[in-house]
Each structure stands twice: as C-alpha cells, then as structure tokens.
C-alpha cells in the first residue's frame, strides 16, 4: 500500500472514542485492543484470534486476554459461543454495549454544554436589560423574563431584538416588549432574520395617494354641491 492509499483510506475509528476512552474506564493498551476489535467487527462478528490482536504490539497473549476480560467486566464487550450444523463451536463478539455507553457519555456532554450555554445566555441577556433600563430589574420583570424564556419559548436573540425595537421607539417597558413578542409569535416569527423583515415592513413609510379633486357634499340636504351649482347655472 503506497502513501496515497494510506492518506485516502477512511478512518474507521471516531474521534469521540479518543476523547472519552478514559471515561469508559480504559487505558491506552485497552484502547488499542478495542480499536482492533472494532476493525475486526467491520468484516465479521467472529471473535478475532489472540494472534490478530497481538500483531504490531509488544503485548503478551496473557495481557491481551486480561484486557478482553476487562472489556467484558466493564460491559463493553459481550462474547457468546455458537455451535453450527457440523458441531463446530465458534465464538462471536458483540460491541453494542460499547456504542451505547459511548453514546450516553456524548449525550451527557452535550446536555451539560447546552445547560452551560443556556445559563450564559441568560446572564448576558439579564445584564443587557439592566444596562438598557439603567437600573436593577424588579421581581415582576424578572418573572416576566423567565416566562418569555420558559413558557413562551422565545429565543434569546428575539427577546434582545424586541428590546432594541422598543428602545428605538422610545417605549422601553416590559409591557411594550411583551406586545412586540406576542405580535411576532402570531406572525410565526422564530428567527432574528424574520423579525427584521417584520420590523422593516412595519417601519416602512406608507405611500400616500394624493387626491386632486375632492367632491363637496351637502350633508344636510344630501346633495353634491358641485352638481347643484351646475344645475343652477343651466336653469339661469
């Protein structure tokens, strides 16, 4: 295999495994054997030989056997023996629990990241509002802010955009901001771009139609004054 083939051959091991193998209770030697098992599982679910797992390493067969037992004890690898029609016994492996545990770790990491980001977004928004109002928020305003986020499910960027909109009209109050958010929700506005379109449409100067001639009407007698005048001239 030349260098080009080595460079272009796809990597079968996900980066997440390298980032989290320690959380699975594995050391570097355990990781090497696990990677070899993953590679072997791409071809067949038959348990590879000790010789296959030992190739390229300086580990002894006894150490490799111990690592396999460790993987089983940590519920990352399952082995079972099956007997075929000829009476031959074959050992098969199953790595499903490994993938499930790695998935759980990644899900937990994502949830923690999301929770941290949510806290950071709230902190920044809270500070921005207090700077905008030039005073601490009242308990009622804090409760309203929490309702916008938790109950109404408004995005942080939309809340900030509504605050800016109220400020630009010199009507900075929580009630006015709430009306803006309610209006956007009725118009299915869910992104900052959509809110900008609504704002542009609302703030766009309305075209006025100039009426050159407005007919006068006698509201007391129910007559058009101009027609009445022309009729009077003809009679004269």
Q: Which domain holds residue 30?
A: 3-100
Per-residue pLDDT of the chain in tens (236 residues, 90 and over written 9): 666 665 676 656 888 999 999 999 999 999 999 999 998 988 888 899 999 999 999 999 999 999 999 999 999 999 998 877 777 888 899 999 999 999 999 999 999 999 999 999 999 999 999 999 999 999 999 999 999 999 999 999 999 999 999 998 899 999 999 999 998 998 888 888 888 887 777 666 555 555 555 454 444 444 554 555 555 555 55
83 falls within a domain? yes
| SS3 per-residue string spanning the chain | CCHHHHHHCCCCCCHHHHHHHHHHCCCHHHHHHHHHHHHHHCCCCECCCHHHHHCCCCCCHHHHHHHHHHHHHCCCCEEEEEECCCCCEEEEEECHHHHHHHHHHHHHHHHHHHHHHHHHHHHHHHHHHHHHHCCCCCHHHHHHHHHHHHCCCCCHHHHHHHHHHHHHCCCCCHHHHHHHHHHHHHCCCCCHHHHHHHHHHHHCCCCCCCCCCCCCEECCCCEEHHHHHHHHHHHC
172 falls within a domain? yes
pLDDT given for residue 90 in this prediction: 85
Domain count, the chain: 2
49 falls within a domain? yes
Domain CATH code at residue 130: 1.10.10.630
Same domain flag for 65 and 14: yes
pLDDT given for residue 63 in this prediction: 96
Same domain flag for 48 and 134: no
80 falls within a domain? yes
Same domain flag for 10 and 96: yes
Domain CATH code at residue 68: 1.10.10.10
235 falls within a domain? no
pLDDT given for residue 212 in this prediction: 54
Same domain flag for 153 and 68: no
231 falls within a domain? no
107 falls within a domain? no
16 falls within a domain? yes
Domain end among 47, 65, 100:
100
């Amino acid at each position: 295999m030349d260098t080009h083939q080595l460079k272009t051959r796809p990597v079968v091991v996900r980066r997440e495994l390298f980032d989290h193998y320690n959380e699975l209770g594995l050391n570097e030697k355990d990781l090497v054997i696990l990677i070899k098992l993953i590679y072997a599982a791409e071809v067949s679910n038959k348990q590879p030989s000790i010789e296959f797992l030992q190739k390229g390493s300086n580990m002894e067969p006894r150490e490799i056997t111990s690592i396999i037992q460790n993987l089983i004890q940590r519920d990352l690898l399952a082995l079972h023996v099956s007997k075929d029609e000829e009476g031959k016994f074959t050992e098969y492996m199953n790595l499903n629990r490994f993938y499930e545990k790695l998935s759980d770790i990644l899900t937990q990491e994502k949830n923690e990241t999301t929770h941290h980001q949510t806290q950071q977004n709230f902190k920044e928004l809270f500070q921005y509002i207090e700077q905008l109002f030039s005073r601490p928020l009242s308990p009622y305003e804090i409760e309203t802010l929490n309702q916008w986020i938790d109950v109404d499910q408004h995005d942080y960027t939309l809340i900030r955009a509504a605050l800016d909109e109220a400020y630009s009209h010199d009507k900075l109050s929580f009630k006015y901001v709430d009306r803006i958010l309610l209006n956007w929700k009725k118009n299915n506005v869910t992104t900052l771009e959509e809110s900008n379109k609504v704002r542009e449409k609302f703030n766009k100067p309305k075209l006025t139609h100039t009426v050159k001639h407005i007919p006068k009407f006698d509201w007391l007698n129910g007559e058009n004054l101009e027609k009445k005048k022309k009729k009077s001239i003809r009679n004269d």
